[in-house]
Structure 1
Amino acid sequence: MAEYQTIRTAGGVRTAEIDEGLRAHMNKVYGTMSVGMVITALAAWALSGLAMSTDPTPYQIGANTYLTEFGATLWTSPLKWVIMFAPLVMVFAFGAMINRLSAAGAQLFFYAFATAMGASISWIFAVYTGFSIIQVFLITSIAFAGLSLWGYTTKKDISGWGSFLIMGVIGLIVASIVNIWLASPAIMFAVSMLGVLIFAGLTAYDTQNIKNTYLAHATSGDSEWLAKAAIMGALNLYLDFINMFMFLLQLFGSRE
């Protein structure tokens, strides 16, 4: 009986340690993601400031807004395609390199990716009003927090959503690339609506997956692997947030 009590107590201590470790792990995920978001916002704002001016130039984009020479090069030359697709290339590179990188190297790569993402979406400051960008960002933040909390706390196993959601993402990428040349408002609206729904689902799915991954490896003792798992989890949630924000902005943003 005494032996049973010892085992039960030890099990309780281990469970408490795992719960504490899970909280620290999720804090690491959300903290890394938040830093990435700040880097992206600063990079986008800084580049847009260099790209736009109230001083008249040959490149007028609004009543009192003009592109600088730098802005014209950034957003109207072939360089725009490099900037647009660089984050996508970096995501695939990150997935291929993650096992060879240290945790510190993976975190640095993530921050470099966040900077590249900021450059790729800096054009939104030339198209949408500042107020609508802030408004949609707040809406996205509230929706993301609710979806992520549900994914973390729900007892329902939503792991089966993964394959369908990834197929949806691939479809969105293909449709978005095709619509670059078609420029169809109907396709853009449909893609934006589906994009919001798909990345809302991915927010909940990825949160639960991050939690389950930690619980499955909590007793392995491999702190380096868990640190890299936290960074990869931060990347997944970061992408969910950014994509949901961009699709909501296309639906509800007020254009200049």
Structure 2
Amino acid sequence: MADYQTVRAAGVSGARTAQIDEGLRAHMNKVYGTMSVGMLITAAAAWAIAGLAVTSDPSGATVALRDGQFLTGLGELLYTTPLKWVVMFAPLAFILFGWGALMRRGSAATVQLGFFAFAAAMGVSISWIFLVFTSFSIVQTFLVTAIAFGGLSLYGYATKRDLSGMGTFLMMGVIGLLVAMVINLFLQSGIMMMAISAIGVLIFAGLTAFYTQDIKNTYVAHAAHGDQEWLDKAAYDGALSLYISFLNMFQFLLMFMGQSE
């Protein structure tokens, strides 16, 4: 991985350095801006679907959530039929099998559209949190996650320490975490879920810093080539990486901080 300071020391100076610095700031603003729009889309989709999934009318309802609230036909379809597995794993399947192809073959506009479509699908996938946790605890956890994410991303941007080795280790941790989560879908162990949540918070906290540094170094290493189309797609790819880290930290923290309805 190209290091920012190394690139600067290797002959990039004066006006060219200032140009790269200005471009880097614009690039990072685009990454964070795209990620923020994706978060808004996810929140809106999750809230809308959760609202459509719940009713206070018991006529025709077969699943009761709590006093005075029941699942609608849409809610039963999404949360109690085999379709729930499709909804749950569709975003993961897109990341594993679709995103790479989109980055290679799609235009920057297509990649951006793909990211926003993924954010909407993720909103549907996590809409269940509005049925399980109180609105206050969801907002509280989101704010805590935002503060932690901001500090970790700032560290990744400012540190001179090379985090690439840590990134490889953390990605191996993500694979182990996914395996543990799939196993616990069948075991339904509360203790195991708490352990998974704790480890998940630590893993995605580290990945937030790693991805931020990687986005920065990747831009600096390729800025001299002037391929704006590629840099635009790289910004959306970086936004996706940070979006996933944020959302996973939020969900794992919600397991600790969330208050059940």
TM-score strictly above 0.5 = yes
> Gaps (5+ residues) in structure 2?
1-11
The alignment covers a number of residue pairs equal to 247
| 1:141 counterpart residue number | 146
* Aligned positions of 1:11-30 closer than 5 A: 11-30=13-32
| 1:89 counterpart residue number | 93
Which runs of at least 4 in structure 1 moved beyond 6 Å after TM superposition? none
Q: Quick one: distance in 2 between partners of 1:11 and 1:104? A: 33
Q: Quick one: distance in 2 between partners of 1:55 and 1:124? A: 21
State which of 182, 185, 197 in structure 2 corresponds to 1:180. 185
Matched residue of 2:51: which SS? helix
Matched residue of 1:61: which SS? strand
Matched residue of 1:219: which SS? helix
Give me the TM-score of the superposition, normalised by structure 2.
0.93
The C-alpha deviation readout for 1:19-51, integer Å capped at 9, x for no partner, is 000000000000000000000000000000000
Asked if residue 107 in structure 1 is aligned to residue 112 in structure 2, the reply is: yes
| 1:75 counterpart residue number | 79
State which of 57, 62, 67 in structure 2 corresponds to 1:63. 67
Q: Quick one: distance in 2 between partners of 1:132 and 1:63? A: 20
> Gaps (5+ residues) in structure 1?
1-9
Matched residue of 2:68: which SS? coil
Deviation at 1:130, TM superposition (A): 0.6
State which of 205, 230, 252 in structure 2 corresponds to 1:247. 252
State which of 125, 129, 133 in structure 2 corresponds to 1:124. 129
Q: State the structure with more CA Rg.
A: 1
Residue identity over aligned pairs, in percent, reads 62
Matched residue of 1:66: which SS? strand
Q: Quick one: distance in 2 between partners of 1:11 and 1:183? A: 58
Q: Quick one: distance in 1 between partners of 2:63 and 2:13? A: 68
* Aligned positions of 1:153-172 closer than 5 A: 153-172=158-177
| 1:203 counterpart residue number | 208
| 1:152 counterpart residue number | 157
State which of 50, 53, 56 in structure 2 corresponds to 1:54. 56
Query: Partner letter of residue 58 of structure 1?
Result: T
Deviation at 1:70, TM superposition (A): 1.0
